[in-house]
Amino acid sequence: MLSVRSVRKSFGAVVALKDANLELMPGEIRALLGANGSGKSTLVKILSGLVSKDGGQILLDGRPLSIDSPLDSLRAGFATAYQDLSLVPRFTVAENIALGREPRGRAGLIERREVLETARGILERLKAEFSPDTFASVLDASQLGQVEIAKAFAWKARYLLLDEVTASLHHEQVRVLFKLLKEMAAAGAAILFVSHRLDEVFQLCDTATILRGGQTVASVKVSEVDHTDLAFHMTGKRLDRAQVKKTSTLSAVGAEAVLAVENLTVMPKVKGVTLHVNAGEVVGLGGLQGQGQSEFLQAVYGAAARSGGVVKLNGREVHFRSPAEALRHGLGFIPGDRDRDGVFPVRSVTENLYLAKLALRPLARIINPQELLQGARELIQRLGIVAGGPNHPARSLSGGNQQKLIVGRWLAVSPKVLILDDPTKGVDIGARLEIHEILRRMAQAGTSVLISSSEVEELLALADRIYVFYEGRIVEELSGDQRSEQNLISAMLGVNHAQSREG
Amino acid sequence: MYQRFVRTSPGISGYFLLVIAVVLNLAVQGLNFFSGWNFSSIFSGNAPLIIVCMAQMIAILVGGIDLSVGSTMCLANTLIVMLTNKQRWPTLGAWLAALAACTLVGLLNGAIIAFIRIPPILTTLSTMSIVGGLALIVQQRPGGVVPREVYSRYGGFTLGLPTTFWVILAMILIWYLIGRYPLGRHLRAVGGNERSAYACGIRTPLVKLSAYTLVGFYTGIAGICVTCLTATGDPRIGIPFTLNSVAGAVLGGTVFGAGWGSIGGTVAGGFFLALVNNIVFFAFSALIRLFSDYTPSPYMQNLLSSAIIVFALASTAVTYKRQESAQKRQKAEFQEKLHGRQG
Amino acid sequence: MADRDSSSAFRGFLRRFQDNQVLMALLMAAVLYLVGGIFTVQFFSLGNIGSLISLTVILGFAGAGQTLVVSSGGGIDLSVGAVMSLGAIIAAQTMRDADAGTLLSIALIVGMGFAAGLFNAVGVILTRVPALVMTMATANVVAAVQWIYSGGFPTGHPGPLVKFIGTARILPFLPYLAFVGVAMVLLIEFGLNRTVYGKQMFAVGNNLQAAYLSGVRAKLVQGAAFVLAGVLNALAGFWFAAFNVYTAVGSCNIYVMPSIAALVIGGTSMNGGKGSYVGTMVGALVLTLLGSLLVLMQTDEAGRQIAYGLVLIAVLAAYNREPKIRL
């Protein structure tokens, strides 16, 4: 049995964990829930050895356990699948799965055949659609997620720590995974399942521990609670479901489509998508992750090449070959991975806020620092960004505030069309609602918004119309009263999609 | 089989370039290229470069670089000559001492990089200076001798093939063996994504330490070779080898920050570098013979050689891109097959 | 009460040094200067100050292009030595001891630097070859051009006016070159911090993908950094010729590694995204003082190299340590 008692951890001035408690028994599948900033990722990293704890105790079968490195954690019987993956891109899938636990044979040499066989076995159980000798660098996000899981499985550990592993997986992949996890639990493994998707928690888990503000606030049996109970523990507020619905009415400003896309194709992920966005509308792109939404949006914005199709802006055909071109035509883009694609950690808050605006100006133009500073202060206030000062480096801000920096960057250029690619993934409820409000205000001021999201609630709360992606195509358009959870989810799952899968 | 090799071998650009170089060499030099003396001098003349390219490859594979290899070769060279000439040590003893010294330099680099965590390029930039200074302390000016038996053996034949061929082969086999052990995998993992390697329970500081120590060892062998080749001591002999070793490794398909590269490719890349000068020299000689009033400046040869190397470097990017698309195609084909089976 | 105030004030003062690497470098320079003076009072002489300033300015010029390339995240430019040498040779051979050729000389030098920088830009940006390797290859090509252009023995010298600015002093401790240096610092710092290009360049250096998605033409910005660096390196050669008067093939190759060291000491991040030319200049000052000090102490070449390496390691250990992998 694993026992976590009063664990504390701070990163400099930021307190990640104040008083974390957890118990995990063999055969149990326990969810670890919490909003962003609640400390759940930190707790997992402490157990897996990537992060050291400042205080508290970890006990394994009654005896204190000291975890000073991932090696200690692995030796103690923990195996972790990380949200941000622990793979080496230039290694093959089999090499990645074997990394750190290479089977030794004669004279200590690595048993290459066993490496392949072990990998093949696990991949088959996961119903993976790639062979073990594929290089990780050519796999997509959902396949990489499967490799990460396979890697954790390969350790045959007593305790399995899964940190947001379903974030990139298809519904079918999730189904297979859950079946396997239940088998493992029945055979005696203990599983800690970190997720923000409450539906999955109800499907899979026996128990749940909820963290809030770095503390364990509740430990419950999943069968005894419902969504609102969990949401209450996570946020401290009773979420009224009725409130979550969109309050502003459908703005019928202008029947002219600002952005019209016909038959856009991006091989192999996007197979002929046609949609349009009217002025001042918020159009949502729904669907499971990895159905082509990202590739579609990037192609429209010019960040990726397209194989075919037509894009029209205000009736005129356009073909952006780079984001710079799209920006000049009044488009904006907020990426889903802010660390990799959005924030400039070493540069100041001001520069982060102003970069898109600066990108519009000619290179030789001189800057007036006062003007920038003034503008930055205004934006900081408008967006409610918590920062030490406009000259502080962006990395000194918390995750949610960094995301606001990126939103602010585009607010500053008032784009005609703002494209967002799953922007609130991993952002906590508080910041998420604030960003929604900002988007609504932008739409009311005339910006057309095209936002892709895998969260049903987000789409229902924000969008005037929702297009649903399934396997690279639009399978449904929902507007008006059609925008219901039922319709959206069934479209996402391709229930109404009569065509069989193409080879 | 061939397709699989092309798709997965990191050294492919090196082999490709080498084939071109050999063909061009044959074109300008004729079959003389394969004559015993010429062939052997290609090996013995370039063994130091080839081996130090291997050393550099190891540093790049573990996610770093080693700018001190040239200076370390100087140290080996001056140590050997000083010990045998002034202290009357036997040759083998001097060699072992030099090897130990170079391995120690590698250990020092590794320790600073792994435990003090100064970036490799900056660390080795500094140790390059320090070790270069040490070489100068051992011997200030070029001079000294190497016994005839040693250098003629080095430049001659053993068991029917150039002696240096066996040396290079041995260094390749050592690396191949290491690659079959976990250290070989872990080294590349640390170079490919250090955090991932750490998360898998790998002791990354120790891996780095081992890697740079190996670099020192290989550099030491290269230093011994250069001593046998030049048959004298010179505290600045190794300077040009530093940047050439990086070029050779990169031409051989070694990629920075990825844990991707092969020793075969690196050796090929090193030979390519070596042959370029040869090609240009003979090409110009041929031109002079063909157009008797054409007297190009000797410096034109350098220009051409340098330009060829630039293009060769650019070509490694092309080779890599094509390899990546081949891999993607393979993945797609597998998916098709899978659906075909289920469908 | 007073003690506590003064001690925390002192600690605050110390922290300012810890955080600000340029200040720390200035402190190092001051220490080195004092040590030099302890060895011989001649070190404090006005004439010597003038020499130190001239040497610093020339090394600082070699670091100008490097600052741009490194800050833009483009990598390290190893062609600085070759381009600088070629610039010096062009200056000598086109001016031929006369003022008349000055403008032509500068035009040719700028053109050559532009071409070299463009060569680097195309090579690095279009291929995946790291700048370290590609610029080294460029350096080889430019070195070959040096040989061809000069036939191995560069002839001529810069014209009298240029020579005057390069070598003469308005006061024993103040060479005209100092003014050129200050002008350069002001110009480059302005370019880095007060132009749209500068901001975009730092952004690209800090996170290329984010800059690209924000509408910055990242490749253009990085390429421009190499081109500008080429011009700056070539002009550095012009001033080298003005100062040194005597030029030879490869005479500026000794500036390559110190240009990198100057950046490191001056606080420019080797990963890109953060840097300052003032810092590079101060770094050049530290290196020049160190070099002079070592010559003063009559250390031989070996001792100088070892001391140089040790000082570098010390600075690196203080400022360039990467964070621990375990938080």
Q: Would you call A63 an interface residue with chain C, using a CB distance cutoff of 8 Å?
A: no
Nearest CA in chain C to B236: C302
Q: Which residue of A has its CA nearest to C205?
A: A344
Which strands form A282-286's sheet, in the order they lie side by side?
A331-334, A417-421, A448-452, A282-286, A465-470, A473-479
Where does the pLDDT of residue C6 fall: very low under 50, low under 70, confident under 90, or very high at 90 and above? Answer: low
CA distance A76 to chain B (A): 12
Interchain pair C274, A369: CB under 8 A: no
Q: Which residues of C touch B64 (CB under 8 A)?
A: none
Query: Residue A308 pLDDT > 70, yes or no?
Result: yes
pLDDT at C234 > cutoff 60: yes
Residue in this structure with the two tokens 């290491």, named with its chain if needed = B178
Tell me the percentage of chain B whose pLDDT exceeds 70.
97
CA dihedral sign of residues A348, A354, A360, A364: negative
Instruction: State which residue of chain B sits closest to C263, comparing Cα positions.
Output: B122
Check residue C17 and give its pLDDT: 62
pTM above 0.90, yes or no: no
**Starting at the edge strand that comes first in sequence, how are the strands of the sheet with A55-60 ordered?**
A63-64, A55-60, A2-11, A14-24, A215-221, A207-212, A29-34, A190-194, A159-163, A78-81
Which pLDDT belongs to residue C208?
Answer: 93
d(CA A136, CA A87): 8
The length of chain A, given as a count of residues: 503
Residue in B185, B197, B260 closest to A102 by CB? B185
List B residues 178-197 in contact with A (Cβ-Cβ < 8 A).
180-182, 185-186, 188-189, 192-193, 195-197
B167: left (phi over 0), alpha (psi -120 to 50) or beta: alpha
Which of A158, A179, A171 lies closest to A65 in space, CA to CA?
Answer: A158
Model pLDDT for residues B311-338, shown as the tens digit of each residue: 899 888 888 888 888 888 888 888 888 7
Let me know: does B125 contact B64? Beta carbons within 8 Å. Answer: no
Amino acid at B228: C
Residue C110, burial from CB neighbour count under 10 angstroms (0-12, 13-18, 19+): middle
pLDDT for C18 equals 63
Residues from chain A contacting residue C210 (CB–CB below 8 Å) = 335, 340-344
A107 touches chain B (CB under 8 A): no
User: Does A346 lie at the interface with C, CB-CB under 8 angstroms?
Assistant: yes
Question: What angle do the packed helices B12-29 and B298-342 form, to 10 degrees?
Answer: 140
Query: Measuring CA to CA, which residue among B115, B106, B262 is closest to residue B203?
Result: B115
| Tens of pLDDT, residues C80-137 | 999 999 999 999 999 888 888 889 999 999 999 999 999 999 999 988 788 999 999 9
Q: CA C234 to CA A197: how far, in whole Å?
A: 59
Would you say the C-alpha torsion A33, A37, A39, A45 has a positive or negative sign? positive
Q: Is the pLDDT of residue B70 over 90?
A: yes
Cβ atoms < 10 Å from Cβ of A104: 13
Q: Which residue reads 């010294």 in tokens?
A: B101
**Which residues of chain B does C321 touch, with a Cβ-Cβ cutoff of 8 Å?**
116-118
Element (H, E) at A264: strand A257-266
C215 CB within 8 Å of a chain A CB: yes
CA distance B134 to C314: 18
Which pLDDT belongs to residue A195? 83
Which pLDDT score, from 0 to 100, does residue C96 have? 86
- Both ends of chain A: CA-CA distance in Å? 47
Cross-chain Cβ contact B134/C264 below 8 Å: no
Q: What is the mean pLDDT of residues A199-212?
A: 91
- For residue C219, what pLDDT is reported? 93
What is the pLDDT at residue C44? Answer: 84
Coil vs helix vs strand at A221: strand
Contact C321 B117 (CB under 8 A): yes
Token pair listed for C164: 């005057």
**3-state SS assignment for residue A15:** strand
Region label for A61, one of left (φ > 0), alpha (ψ between -120 and 50) or beta (otherwise): left
In this model, does residue C1 exceed pLDDT 60? Answer: no
pLDDT higher than threshold 90 for residue A490: no
Residues of A in contact with B188 (CB under 8 A): 88, 90-91
pLDDT band of residue C10 (cuts 50, 70, 90) is low
pLDDT of res. C8: 62
Q: What is the pLDDT of residue A22?
A: 94
Please name the helix (run of DSSP H) or strand (run of DSSP E) that holds residue A43, with its range, or none.
helix A40-48
Q: What is the DSSP string of C217-282?
A: -HHHHHHHHHHHHHHHHHHHHHHHHHHH----TTTTGGGHHHHHHHHHHHT--TTSS---HHHHHH
Mean pLDDT in chain A?
86
Chain B contact for C270, CB < 8 A?
yes
Which token pair is C121? 């830009």
- Picking from A333, A347, A409, the nearest residue to C206 by CB comes out as A347
Residue B127 with chain C: CB contacts under 8 Å: 309, 313
Q: Which of C194, C216, C269 sits opposite A366 (nearest CB)?
A: C194
Question: Under a CB-based contact definition with an 8 Å cutoff, are residues A376 and A354 in contact?
Answer: yes
- Tell me which of A218-222, B268-272, C323-327 is least confident: C323-327
What was the pLDDT predicted at B59? 97
pLDDT reported for residue B60 = 96
| Residues of chain A neighbouring B332 (CB-CB closer than 8 A) | 268
Identify the band that residue A251 occupies on the pLDDT scale cut at 50, 70 and 90. Answer: very low
- The stretch A320-338 carries a mean pLDDT of 91
Considering only CB atoms, C148 lies closest to which of B132, B300, B313, namely: B300
Inspect the interface and report whether the beta carbons of C210 and A363 lie closer than 8 Å.
no
CB A469 within 8 A of CB A302: no
The distance in angstroms from the start CA to the end CA of chain B is 28
C324 touches chain A (CB under 8 A): no
Per the prediction, chain B carries an average pLDDT of 90
State the Cα–Cα distance between residues B190 and A86, nearest whole angstrom.
12
At A499 the pLDDT is 37
Tell which wins on pLDDT, C35 or A35.
C35
| B62 in contact with C, Cβ within 8 Å | no
Q: How many CA atoms lie within 13 A of B305 on its CB side?
A: 21
B270-292 average pLDDT score: 82
**Closest residue, chain A, to C208 (C-alpha):** A341
Say what the pLDDT of residue A238 is. 63
Select the residue from B178, B181, B200, B327 to test the A interface by mutation, using most A Cβ atoms within 10 A: B200
User: What is the predicted pLDDT for the residue at C2?
Assistant: 46
Q: A54 touching C, CB under 8 A? A: no
Q: List B residues 123-142 in contact with C (Cβ-Cβ < 8 A).
A: 123, 125-137, 140
Average pLDDT over residues B190-199: 95
For A358, the closest of C200, C326, C327 (CB atoms) is: C200
User: Measuring CA to CA, which residue among A92, A86, A105 is closest to residue B180?
Assistant: A105
Query: Quick check: A99 and A110 in contact, CB under 8 A?
Result: no
Helix, strand or coil, per DSSP, at residue C174 = strand
Residues 6+ apart with CB under 8 A from C83: C112, C113, C116, C117, C139, C142, C230, C233, C234, C237
Q: Which chain B positions have a beta carbon within 8 Å of A90's beta carbon?
A: 188, 192, 255, 258-260
Instruction: Compute the distance between CA of residue A228 and CA of residue A224 in angstroms, rounded to an integer.
Output: 12
- Which of A301-305, B27-31, B170-174 shows the highest mean pLDDT? B170-174
Q: For testing the chain C interface, which of A347, A405, A421 should be mutated: the one with the most C CBs within 10 Å?
A: A347
Instruction: Check pLDDT > 50 for residue A246.
Output: no
B331 touches chain A (CB under 8 A): yes
- In chain B, positions 278-337, which contact chain C (CB-CB < 8 Å)? 297, 299-300, 302-303, 305-307, 309-310, 313-314, 316-318, 320
Q: How far apart are CA A196 and CA A264, in angstroms?
A: 33
List, in order, residues 6 or more apart from B127 with CB less than 8 Å away: B68, B71, B105, B108, B109, B112, C309, C313
Nearest CA among A145, A158, A418 for reference residue A279: A418
What subunits touch chain A, counting only 3 or more CB pairs under 8 A?
Answer: B, C
Interface test with B, best of C132, C256, C319 (most B CBs within 10 A): C132
Tell me whether C96 touches chain A (CB under 8 Å).
no
pLDDT band at B293 (very low <50, low <70, confident <90, very high): low
Q: Which chain B residues have a beta carbon less than 8 Å from that of C140?
A: 302, 305-306, 309
